[in-house]
Chains A and B, each alone.
Chain A
Amino acid sequence: MTPRHSLLSRFNGLAVATRRGAGFFLAGLAVMALSGAAFGRQQAAPISMDIGDEPGRVATAEQIVEEGPFARQLVFFRSSEPAGTIVIHTNERFLYVVQGNNRALRYGIGVGREGFQWSGLVRVSRKAEWPDWTPPPEMIARQPYLPRFMAGGPGNPMGARALYLGSTVYRIHGTNQPETIGHAVSSGCFRLANGDVIDLFERIAVGAKVIIRHGASI
């Protein structure tokens, strides 16, 4: 089985939509370098997808999670944080944007796989559209055929948008693998379907507070 066959066979049934109706979502795995991380790594997530590290597949920016718990939706969310704050619950695979009045906009996310999860308080330090991608050295060691740098674009594993988290190597970014939303697949980054990360990107300003909670529950 080739890597791409393997990826296709692992689609987990999430309802994913594209406005063009193409239904095509081969994807790449966005993995970030981890060295220098200032955060403690904690216990493994219960779900982990064993997906091979492939570079970005061509996919549309319009892909969103359309149905189920990981679809973008307004939810009850008790919080004293100001509106515009991002709260990430790693164990739940949810990212919340606090709206005030005990409401939040909730997005389904993919999170760090076993050993790559973290918690902390940071701020959005930068935003980028179609960010470039530099595979970390350990990824090059596993996949020596990869380019050492890939310009941003539809084939790039970073997806359509990225929000950089403080001075860490972690980001909230898009993905061309919407089937990984709800799973522990990354090296510590938080991924949303491309259409959802575009929506988030437009709501969040540089400087926004980001709280990452691991092991929290509603």
Chain B
Amino acid sequence: MVSAYPASLIRAGIPAILVLLLGGCGTTIDEAVVTPGALTERPATIRNEQLIGKWGVASYREEKDRKRVEAQARAQCRLPYIIAKGPSDGVMMHLADDAKLYELRIKGGSDGKTYLGPEAPPGEWQDREIISISEKEMIMRFVDPEVHGRYGTFIYVRCPG
């Protein structure tokens, strides 16, 4: 397992600055983001097995685009994103802007939400929030508002086979 913690420390101060800069830009960043360190961990209701597999991935920023982006995600199964089981108790995925694979863990937060990220309290800056998940589709977004502002909300559609 590759540790992501140093990168986490480096990045910790960046989002606050970027949030200030973004304030006047009229972006559509969702305001519902957690304050890192504010949450305690609760047992997660989502299991690793629900994430493992091949997914078509697409992202959107505005709700009006969601349906068509969902169809686009399905079409992206020709170039799927593969989530594999990690060597410990996690799944192998990427963090934002980092081509290396890390073992990420599903974490239940005391705010009732479920997070996916490196070994750290739930809602940490590098985490994704798992907004919804079903057998065929899951929706996630990055907790870091700057990263979320750039990438938008991710739709993962499970690929056949």
* Chain A residues engaging chain B, CB cutoff 8 angstroms: 2-4, 20-22, 24, 26, 28, 54-60, 132, 137, 140, 142-145, 147-155
A114 to B103, CA, bound (A): 37
| Given known A58-B22, A153-B61, contact A145–B98 (CB-CB < 8 A) | yes
Chain B neighbourhood of A143, CB < 8 A: 99
| Given known A4-B14, A55-B151, A58-B22, contact A149–B96 (CB-CB < 8 A) | no
Give the tally of cross-chain contacts (CB within 8 A).
104
Is A149 a contact partner of B72 (Cβ separation < 8 A)? yes
Is B149 a contact partner of A140 (Cβ separation < 8 A)? no
A57 to B72, CA, bound (A): 21
Is B14 a contact partner of A58 (Cβ separation < 8 A)? no
| Given known A2-B97, A58-B150, A145-B94, contact A151–B25 (CB-CB < 8 A) | no
Select A147's contact among B57, B65, B68, beta carbons within 8 Å.
B57
A79 to B34, CA, bound (A): 59
- How far in angstroms is the closest Cβ of chain B from A18? 8
Main secondary structure, interface of A, reads loop
A153 to B64, CA, bound (A): 12
Is A151 a contact partner of B21 (Cβ separation < 8 A)? no
Is B151 a contact partner of A147 (Cβ separation < 8 A)? yes
Is B25 a contact partner of A148 (Cβ separation < 8 A)? no
A4 to B14, CA, bound (A): 10
| Given known A3-B97, A155-B149, contact A147–B58 (CB-CB < 8 A) | yes
Chain A neighbourhood of B149, CB < 8 A: 58, 155
Is A54 a contact partner of B154 (Cβ separation < 8 A)? no
Select B28's contact among A56, A59, A154, beta carbons within 8 Å.
A154
* Chain B residues engaging chain A, CB cutoff 8 angstroms: 7, 10-11, 14, 18, 21-22, 24-29, 56-62, 65, 68-69, 72-73, 75-76, 79, 81, 94-99, 146, 149-152, 154
* Chain B residue at minimum C-beta to C-beta distance from A61: B26
Is A145 a contact partner of B99 (Cβ separation < 8 A)? yes
A152 to B7, CA, bound (A): 29
Chain A neighbourhood of B154, CB < 8 A: 147
29 A-B pairs with CB atoms under 8 Å apart are A3-B97, A4-B97, A22-B21, A22-B25, A24-B22, A26-B18, A58-B25, A58-B146, A58-B149, A144-B99, A145-B95, A145-B96, A147-B57, A148-B58, A148-B72, A148-B73, A149-B57, A149-B58, A149-B59, A149-B69, A149-B75, A151-B62, A151-B65, A151-B68, A151-B152, A153-B61, A153-B62, A155-B61, A155-B149
Chain B neighbourhood of A26, CB < 8 A: 18
Select B59's contact among A2, A24, A144, A151, beta carbons within 8 Å.
A151
* Chain B residue at minimum C-beta to C-beta distance from A132: B72
Chain A neighbourhood of B11, CB < 8 A: 2
Is A60 a contact partner of B99 (Cβ separation < 8 A)? no
Chain B neighbourhood of A153, CB < 8 A: 28, 60-62, 65, 152
Chain B neighbourhood of A142, CB < 8 A: 99
Chain A neighbourhood of B95, CB < 8 A: 145
